Structure 1
Amino acid sequence: MNRSFRLPAIVLAGVLFAQAASAQKTTGANKKLVERGKYLVTIALCNDCHSPKKFGPNGPEVDESKLLSGAPSHTPLPESPAGVLGPDKWGVVASNDLTTWFGPWGISFAKNLTPDVETGIGSWTEDMFIRAIRTGKDMGEGRQILPPMPWQLIGKATDADLKAMFAYLKSLPSIKNAVHEPIPPSMGTVHEPIPPATGATK
C-alpha cells in the first residue's frame, strides 16, 4: 500500500471499529431493557386482557401467536344477566378470552399493544406511553382509559420501568388487528351488534 494512503486507512479502520463496538454496546443495553420490560409486562398481568386466548384442558391460555394484539375484531359480545350490573351495581362480565369487558361504563375492548402503526402503538412515542399510563388518557391526552385497565396501579411504576415496558412492546412482532371502539352504556345492551372496528382501545 502506498504510504500516503496508509494513515487514512488506519484511521478509517479505527472509526469503524469504534462504531461497531458502540453499536454492540447499545444493542446489549437495549436487549437488557427489552428483557426487563418483558418481565414487568408479564408480572403486571398485561397478557390477561391484552392477549387473545386459546382454549385447552386447563381453560383459556395465552395464544403466543397473537401476543398482546388486543381484542380480536370479531370478538362476540359477553352477555350480561338482566339487573345484575348498573350504576349502583358495580361488577363486570367478560368474553371467554378475557379481551372484552362489560360493566357500568359500557363495553371496553383490550388495546392492540403491538407496534403495528395502523392498529397498534406503532405511532406512539415513549413519552406518549408514559403519559397514558400516568394520566389514564389514551395516547396521553385523549379519552379516558376504561376499566378493567389498572392504570392507577401501573402508573406508580418508575419512569425507568415504564420505558422498559415500552421498549418490550415495541420489540414485539406487529400484528394488524383493528380493535373496536368502546361502547358507552347509552348505546344499549350488550346483546346489540358490535359497531365496526376502527382501531381504538380499552
Structure 2
Amino acid sequence: MKGRVASAGVAVVVVALMAAYGGPTAHAREPAPNAVTAPFAAGSDTAAAARGAKLAAVGNCVACHTATGGLPLAGGLPLQTPFGVIYSTNITPDNETGIGGWSLDAFARAMRRGVSSDGHLLYPAFPYPHFTHISDADMGSLYAWLMSRAPVKAPAPHNELIFPLGFRPIMAVWNLFYLHTGTEPPPSPTEAPDVVRGRYLVESLGHCGACHTPLNRLGAERRDRALQGGTIDGWDAPALTNLASRPTPWTQAQLVSYLRTGLASAHGAAAGPMRPVTRMLADASASDVEAIAAYLLALPSGGPGVPEHPVASPSASAAPVSTAPGGGANLFSAACASCHAEGAPMSSGDARPSLSLPRPSTPTAHATWSVSSSMESTGTKAIARPSCHHWPTHSRMRR
C-alpha cells in the first residue's frame, strides 16, 4: 500500500512538471506518419524476414507479446509494475487490432520513440528506451518478419494503472528526462568485433538492462548502475558485471550454454523470467549469442561502493548450519537427491543441473544451506525445509 501511495505521489509530481513544460497539448500526441499505401506482401522479402526472426529471438518478442494460453504475438500478457498492470499489445499484422496497417516508418517510430501509429504515447514497460538504438537494417528485418506472421484479431485489455498515469501525455515528461535517442557512442578501436556486436545487442534489441539494472522511483533505469542487478516480477535479476572474475568465474562456453539452453556447468539453471529468455535465445543466431556473451564477460566490476558479489543475509528464521558428520549428505539425500543425484530421472534441456562447484577462493561463493527453524509436522516426524541463502548465479524469488 505504501508503495502505491508513493507511486501516486510521484505521478502528481510528474503532472506538475508537465504543466511547467507547456501542458498536455504540447506533448500529448504526434501526427500520424504516412499511412501504408499497400498491404505488406507476406513473402515479399523472405531474406529480411528470416533475419528478423533471429533478431526477434534476441528481443524476446514472442514471450512478452503472448498471453498464457494465447496465440503468438497476439498480446494480452499482464505486466505487473509498481504503477499498476500494463497489458502487452497485439503485434500481429491484423489491420484492426494489430499492426497490419502500420508502415515501416510508423513501426520504427514506435520502437525508437514510444509513439504509436495514431500518435498516442506508449508506456516504457515496452522497452523503447533500448529499442531506440536499433539500426535501420535490423528495424526493417524485424518489420518484415512481423508482417509475415499470421494475423490474429485480439484487442488488448485495458491497462489498470493508478491515477493519474492512465493519462498518457504524462509520458512526454518522462521521455524528456529518460529517453536518449540516437546511436550509442562509437566503439573503442581496441574493442574486438564480437564485443562491439554484443554491446549493440545488449543495449538495444536484447534490452538486458530492463531487468538487470535497478530502477528509480519513476521506473527509469539508473544509468549510473547499468547492469548491476535489478528486480523483475518479484525475482532478483543478478548483476551482469564482472562475470569473468567471480570466485566461480564464468567462461565463454558456459555463458553461451546458459543463454541458449538455460543450463551451465558449475553455475546452475535459469529460472523465473530468465527461463523464457533462454528459450528464445535458442532460436537466435549462434554468432549473436556468442557476441552477447563476449560483451558481458568484458564488462568490468559494478563500480565504487557496489559489492561485486552481493550475498543475501540469512533470514531471521534460519537456524545455524549443521556441522554434524554426515549432516550435509543426509540433507542432500532427503531434499535434493531425487532430482540431482546420479541416475535421477529429472532432466532439463537434455542435461541435469549439477550441484557440485569447484572450490572457490572465498567462502562467499558457496551456496549456504540451512534448516529452517519452522518445522512441518507430519504424523510423528518433522520435515526440515532447506533454504538456499545465496546462489551466485541464480535469480531467486523475492519474498
- Normalized against structure 2, the TM-score is what? 0.29
Larger Cα-atom Rg: 2
Which of 65, 74, 81 aligns to 1:50? It is: 65
- Size of the alignment, in residue pairs? 125
Map 1:53-132 to 2 at 5 A: 53-54=68-69, 66-71=71-76, 99-132=77-110
8 Å CA contact 1:100–1:110 kept in 2: the answer is yes
8 Å CA contact 1:38–1:165 kept in 2: the answer is yes
**CA drift at 1:141:** 2.8
8 Å CA contact 1:132–1:139 kept in 2: the answer is yes
**Displacement over 6 Å in runs of 4+:** none
**CA drift at 1:101:** 1.4
User: In structure 2, the residue corresponding to 1:107 is in which secondary structure?
Assistant: strand
Q: State the AA in 2 paired with 1:53.
A: T
Cα–Cα, structure 1 residues 140 and 133, in superposed 2: closer, same or farther, change >3 Å?
farther
Q: State the AA in 2 paired with 1:50.
A: H
* Residues 74-99 of structure 1, C-alpha deviations (whole Å, 9 max, x = no match): xxxxxxxxxxxxxxxxxxxxxxxxx1
Alpha-carbon distance between aligned partners in 1 of 2:105 and 2:73, rounded to the nearest angstrom:
20
Alpha-carbon distance between aligned partners in 1 of 2:118 and 2:108, rounded to the nearest angstrom:
7
Pair 1:163 & 2:140 matched: yes
Alpha-carbon distance between aligned partners in 2 of 1:129 and 1:29, rounded to the nearest angstrom:
18
Alpha-carbon distance between aligned partners in 1 of 2:43 and 2:89, rounded to the nearest angstrom:
29
- Provide the identity percentage: 29
Cα–Cα, structure 1 residues 184 and 35, in superposed 2: closer, same or farther, change >3 Å?
same
**CA drift at 1:102:** 2.6
Structure 1 match to 2:115: 137
Pair 1:177 & 2:182 matched: no
8 Å CA contact 1:114–1:173 kept in 2: the answer is yes
RMSD (Å), alpha carbons: 2.5
**CA drift at 1:104:** 2.9
Alpha-carbon distance between aligned partners in 1 of 2:94 and 2:44, rounded to the nearest angstrom:
24
**CA drift at 1:116:** 0.6
**CA drift at 1:181:** 2.8
User: In structure 2, the residue corresponding to 1:139 is in which secondary structure?
Assistant: coil
**CA drift at 1:106:** 2.6
8 Å CA contact 1:134–1:152 kept in 2: the answer is yes
Q: Which runs of 5+ in 2 are unaligned?
A: 1-41, 165-399
- Normalized against structure 1, the TM-score is what? 0.56
8 Å CA contact 2:67–2:78 kept in 1: the answer is no
Which of 154, 159, 181 aligns to 2:131? It is: 154
**CA drift at 1:29:** 7.3
Alpha-carbon distance between aligned partners in 1 of 2:137 and 2:79, rounded to the nearest angstrom:
30
Higher relative contact order (CA 8 A, sep 6+): 1
Q: State the AA in 2 paired with 1:44.
A: G
Cα–Cα, structure 1 residues 140 and 165, in superposed 2: closer, same or farther, change >3 Å?
farther
8 Å CA contact 2:112–2:132 kept in 1: the answer is yes
